[in-house]
Amino acid sequence: MKKFKLLILALTLTALVAGNLWAADAKPQTTCPVLAGNVNKQVYADYKGKRIYFCCQGCDAEFKKNPDKYMKKLKEQGVTLEPSPAAPAKK
């Protein structure tokens, strides 16, 4: 009986670890949150420490009208956003 309990414990721990590793996989942003086209990394906006990419000019302006709407959409899709580059130090 003791071996059975140890086996169950080992399987449970293995499942938890595997689940956490799987959940930690980052899903990069590949589509525009506004028009759902493929992102162009030349068109972006930085918002709350994150960089959001868009498919074309105009989508960035649309995003800025209601950024929380699009941030929610990206979160629901499971997208892991890149951090914004650090601002240059002020002299």
Residue with tokens 């972006």: 44
Contacts with 67 (C-beta within 8 Å, 6 or more apart), sequence order: 45, 47
Domain ranges in the chain are 27-84
pLDDT digits (tens, 9 = 90+) for 55-82: 999 999 999 999 999 999 999 999 999 9
Pairwise CA distance, residues 5 & 8, whole Å = 5
Indicate whether this model's pTM tops 0.85: no
Confidence of residue 20 (pLDDT cuts 50, 70, 90): very low
Q: Is 52 exposed, middle or buried (0-12, 13-18, 19+ CB in 10 A)?
A: buried
**pLDDT attached to residue 14:** 60
